[in-house]
Structure formats: C-alpha cells, structure tokens
Structure 1
Amino acid sequence: MCRNIHQLHNFEPAATDDEVYAASLQFVRKISGSTKPSKANEEAFGRAVAEIAHISQHLLEDLVTTAAPKNREVEADKARARSAKRFAAA
C-alpha cells in the first residue's frame, strides 16, 4: 500500500475532512498509476476520489475501539524516530 496513506482511525481530535480527502486522493493515484489524470479521465478520477472519501468518512465514523485515542504529536514523533533510524547514515 502507499506509504503516504496514514492511519486515520482512533485519533483525538478525529480525522478532518481534508485528511480523509488526502488519503483518498493518494489511494486513487496509487491504483490508477497516475498522479494527475488526463483531461479525458479527470472527471472519473475526481468522482472516484470523492466517493472513496465519502465511504472512508463513514467507515471512520462507524469503527469502534476500546483503545485510548492516539495523540497526533506523539505518533508523529514516533514516525520521525523510525524514519531517522531507517535512513541514518551508516
């Protein structure tokens, strides 16, 4: 799966519409193999992004968990630490 699509479930505050849209856009880009559709495919591309964002928002609203909500800053710090370790000069 695309590395640019991040988990959006169980965060406080909840994922914004912009975050859901961005993840949907990345998903459509990945499966279509195109970062920018041609004029002929622009409408289908945009419709797919909008529909996936809509369904994804419903999914996020319907998911339940007993885990405590994650903190965005703490998770971002963890991701930066993993990245630094992964790409550290040997």
Structure 2
Amino acid sequence: MCRSIHTLHNFEPAATSEEIHAAALQYVRKIAGTTKPSKVNQEAFDRAVHEISHATQHLLDALVTNAPPKNREEEAAKGKARAIKAGRYAA
C-alpha cells in the first residue's frame, strides 16, 4: 500500500473531503504510475480521482465500529516514533 495513504476511518474529527481527495489522488497516481498525467489522459485521471473520492466517502459513511474514535495527534505521534525507530525520519 502506498505509504502516503493513511487510514481515514474512525478518527475524531472525521476525515475531511480534502483528506479523502488526497488519498484518492495518491491511489490514482500509484495505479497510473505517474504524478502528472499527459494532457490526453488528464480527463480520465481527474474523473478517476473524483469517482474514487466519492466511493471512499460512501465507504467511510457506511463503516460501523464499536471501537472508540482514535485521536489524530496521538496516532501521528505514534507513527513519527515508529519512523524514527526505523530510521526513516530525521528528528
């Protein structure tokens, strides 16, 4: 899975439309193998991002959990600590 796509479910506050769009964009970039499509492929690329964003929002709205929502700042701090321990982050 693409490292820049993060879990969006069960956080407080809930994922924003910008976060959902960013995840969809990263997914399409990964699948397409490019960060910037050619002019001839731009419409298909943009349409895919839009459709994946829409489907992702529906998924997040439909998911049910009994677990308490996670705190974004705490989860980010845990991720940073893991990255530092693994040597992928310079403090």
TM-score normalised over the length of structure 2: 0.95
What is the percentage of aligned positions where both structures have the same residue?
A: 66
Q: Residues of 2 paired with 1:3 and 1:12: CA distance?
A: 21
Tell me whether 1:49 sits opposite 2:49 in the alignment: yes
Instruction: Give the alignment of 1:1-90 within 5 angstroms.
Output: 1-87=1-87
Q: CA deviation at 1:14?
A: 0.3
Question: Any stretches of 5+ residues in structure 1 without a counterpart?
Answer: none
**Segment of structure 1 superposing worse, 44-53 or 80-89:** 80-89
Q: Residues of 2 paired with 1:32 and 1:42: CA distance?
A: 11
Q: CA deviation at 1:32?
A: 0.5
Question: Any stretches of 5+ residues in structure 2 without a counterpart?
Answer: none
Q: Residues of 2 paired with 1:31 and 1:38: CA distance?
A: 15
Q: What is the aligned residue count? A: 89
Structure 1 runs (4+) greater than 3 angstroms displaced: none
Q: Residues of 1 paired with 2:67 and 2:81: CA distance?
A: 23
